[in-house]
Amino acid sequence: MRSLEFEALLDVSARVGADPLLVQGAGGNTSIKEVGTLWIKASGLWLAHARQRDVMVPVALDLLLDALERDDPATEKTQDFVISEMNPSGLRPSIETTVHALMPQKVVIHVHCVETIATAVQTNGGAIAAERLAGIPHVFVPYARPGLPLARAIAERLQEKTSVLILGNHGLAVAAETVTDAAMLLTDVSRRLTGQRRSASSADLAALSRLAVDSGYCLPDDARLHAVATDLESCRIAAGGSLYPDHVIFLGKGSVIAAPGETAVSIETDRKERGETLPPLLLFPGKGVLVEKTISAGALAMARCLADVTARIPASARLRYLSDAENAELLGWDAEKYRQKLNRAGQALQ
Ligand SMILES: [Zn+2]
């Protein structure tokens, strides 16, 4: 039988997972440590569905921590540490399981909070966090690829009382001894990191419809996606490259900004001639965005995230974009290929 705390965590997971300002698609994860077992959200599944299906995987905590101590490469996927007799659905643990294991508190919530990301992509993100989170034991962890590199970067910086991790170019993790305290800490931190949001003018739907003619692209149902293109500062920020891992995983490297005179068809033709895959999202500066007609739910969630994050980055901010090597590392990563496969198969929507 599940404990009351476990049940409470599922409630918080479903609530947090349904808030696109905290979690997009299959991103983010929650965990609870009970009698030596770390229960962690499964890879590729959505926190939003925590009350609709089995989403938690049991992992042997001490074995995983020992392996981390040894720098064992098996900690990259953490699958070897699943307690299979307690995992009838055969779920795989989140790619970010080690983040949860390393924090000693009972409950950990990791989110891709857009307010945190908008801070954590700035070159002085650590200083901004230090000022806004005064009084909360936190550390800023510079960007490292999720998995073993991120685990190492966290382990190097974690102190005994650390309850908040600001993950550079990535997101936020909060930890506490109870689900209620963790949820309150999450609310407090994201509120403190909340800055100004630029408003964007509305999309030019007539122009976008013309730009989509005869192409595999269409207008998105969610009008909020357009802000990244109708607000020219946001568009400029997006044009600079990729800012966080899930953007690269679901939308590809950087953003495709249409040049004057380009249409969805001309971009498609150009890409096909060069043997490149088609981008799920196209930005038309000042007009709005078009999405691939076959866009996945995960990519759609990340398109919304791009609009939400860029609108919160001050125009004067100096940004740290992911390097070419960091982009390539994310696109060639086995563990992520599994998550992408689930996304394409639509399992995440069940
Ligand atoms: Zn993450």
341: pLDDT strictly greater than 80: no
> What is the whole-number distance in angstroms between the Cα of residue 259 and the centre of ligand 1?
32
Q: Tell me how far CA of residue 208 lies from CA of 110, 202, 216, 302, 342, in angstroms.
A: 36, 12, 13, 20, 31
Question: Are the beta carbons of 75 and 69 closer than 8 angstroms?
Answer: no
For 324-335, b/e burial (b = at least 16 CB within 10 A) is eebbebbeebeb
Separation of alpha carbons 278 and 262, rounded Å? 15
CA of 58 to the centre of ligand 1 (A): 19
- Distance, CA of 175 to CA of 163 (rounded, Å): 5
Average pLDDT value over all residues in the chain: 94
- The pLDDT of residue 122 is 98
- The whole-angstrom separation of Cα 97 and Cα 148 is 10
φ and ψ at residue 181, rounded to 5 degrees:
-65, -40
pLDDT, tens digit (0-9, with 9 covering 90-100), for 257-293: 999 999 999 999 999 999 999 999 999 999 999 999 9
What is the DSSP track for 274-289? TTPPPPSEEEETTTEE
CA of 248 to the centre of ligand 1 (A): 13
The label of the residue with tokens 């790619």 reads 95
Ligand 1 centre distance from Cα of residue 250 (Å): 13
Spacing, Cα 1 to ligand 1 middle (Å): 29
CA Rg, the chain, in Å? 20
pLDDT at 13: 98
Picking from 99, 243, 252, the residue whose alpha carbon sits closest to that of residue 168 is: 243
pLDDT (tens digit, 9 = 90+) per residue, 37-94? 999 999 999 999 999 999 999 999 999 999 999 989 888 888 999 999 999 999 999 9
The Å distance, Cα 303 to ligand 1 centre, comes to: 16
CA of 96 to the centre of ligand 1 (A): 7
What's the CA-to-centroid distance between 210 and ligand 1, angstroms?
37
Cα distance from N-terminal residue to C-terminal residue, the chain: 24
Confidence of residue 348 (pLDDT cuts 50, 70, 90): very low
Compute the distance from residue 149 Cα to the ligand 1 centre, in Å: 13
Whole-structure pTM value: 0.93
**Two structure tokens written together for 343:** 């996304």
Centre of ligand 1 from the C-alpha of residue 278, in Å: 25
Rounded to the nearest angstrom, the distance between the alpha carbon of 93 and the centre of ligand 1 is 13
Q: What is the arithmetic mean of pLDDT over 294-309?
A: 97
Distance 173 CA to ligand 1 centre (A): 9
**Residue among 330, 311, 325, 37 nearest 198 (CA):** 311
pLDDT at 350: 35
Give the pLDDT band (50/70/90) at residue 140: very high
The Cα-based distances of 250 to 295, 307, 349 in angstroms read 10, 15, 15
**pLDDT category of residue 1 using cuts at 50, 70 and 90:** confident
CA distance 350 to 348: 6
| Alpha carbon of 146 to ligand 1 centroid (Å) | 7
Distance 304 CA to ligand 1 centre (A): 17
Residue 77: predicted pLDDT = 81
Q: Ligand 1 centre and the CA of 171: distance in Å?
A: 6
pLDDT exceeds 60 at position 349: no
Phi, psi of 341 (to 5 degrees): -65, -45
Q: Alpha-carbon dihedral of residues 58, 62, 64, 68, nearest 10 degrees?
A: 160
What the block records as the tokens of 337 is 């290929």
Q: How far is the CA of 322 from the centre of ligand 1 (A)?
A: 15
- Residue 345 confidence (pLDDT): 63
H/E stretch holding 58: strand 56-60
Nearest to 217 by CA among 142, 156, 278: 278
71 within 8 A of 143, measured Cβ to Cβ = no
Mean pLDDT of 300-315: 98
Looking at per-residue pLDDT, the higher value among 73 and 114 belongs to 114
Q: Where does the pLDDT of residue 251 fall: very low under 50, low under 70, confident under 90, or very high at 90 and above?
A: very high
Q: How far is the CA of 62 from the centre of ligand 1 (A)?
A: 22
As a whole number, mean pLDDT of residues 319-328 equals 96
For residue 70, the CA-to-ligand 1 centroid distance in Å is 23
pLDDT tens string 189-239: 999 999 999 999 999 999 999 999 999 999 999 999 999 999 999 999 999
How far is ligand 1, taken at its centre, from the CA of residue 165, in Å?
11
Give the dihedral sign, CA 46/48/54/58. Answer: positive
The answer on pLDDT for 180 being more than 50 is: yes
Q: Taking 60 as the threshold, does the pLDDT of residue 344 lie above it?
A: yes
Residue 325 Cα to ligand 1 middle (Å): 19
- Using the mean position of ligand 1's atoms as its centre, give its distance from the Cα of residue 198 in Å: 25
